[in-house]
Amino acid sequence: MISQRLQDAFNRQLVHEMFSSNLYLSMAASFESAGLSGMARWMHAQAGEERAHAMKFFHYLVDRGGQVKIGAVEAPPFEWPLPLAAFETALKHEQKTTAAVNDLHTLAAAEKDHAAGAFLQWFLIHQVEEEASATRNVEQLKLAGDNNAALLVIDHQLGKRE
Ligand code: MG
């Protein structure tokens, strides 16, 4: 059985992951409108991943006899300055997510819930990857600057994401 404090924190993280999913979906819409279909595809894939993260918390709560409470998910902005600013926001968001997962891990330790700690390890390791890929995208877009040919190369590259 999961503790009340940890259950509440996991439910908040579930909502955070759903917000992440909607955030990237909103960015995908802006990239679609701008004709940057590779970047849109990348954002769609990211949105799908975040939804899968939310479901990991969902199933974990169920497995531990906790109650899943789907809270309100804040609406993300509708419009994004593209492409660099959107990817910079994505990087900042991933850094926030890393901090949230770190806090959850600290809480699990305080609650002496080592199984929850082990569950969160996957997210801690995954966040290293998330931040690295978000940073890479930002750096490449900075290098491209206003060069449309370079932007299209990056768009093509990001569009290869499964
Ligand atoms: Mg996530």
What is the Å distance from ligand 1's center to 6 Cα?
18
What is the Å distance from ligand 1's center to 127 Cα?
8
What is the Å distance from ligand 1's center to 132 Cα?
14
Counting residues of the chain whose pLDDT is more than 90, the rounded percentage is 98
What is the Å distance from ligand 1's center to 149 Cα?
32
Q: How does pLDDT run across 29-48, given as a tens digit for each residue?
A: 999 999 999 999 999 999 99
As a whole number, mean pLDDT of residues 54-70 equals 98
The size of the chain, in residues, is 162
Q: How does pLDDT run across 72-110, given as a tens digit for each residue?
A: 999 999 999 999 999 999 999 999 999 999 999 999 999
Residues 44 and 115: their CA atoms lie apart, in Å, by 32
What is the Å distance from ligand 1's center to 146 Cα?
30
SS3 4: helix
Q: How confident is the model at residue 162 (pLDDT cuts 50, 70, 90)?
A: confident
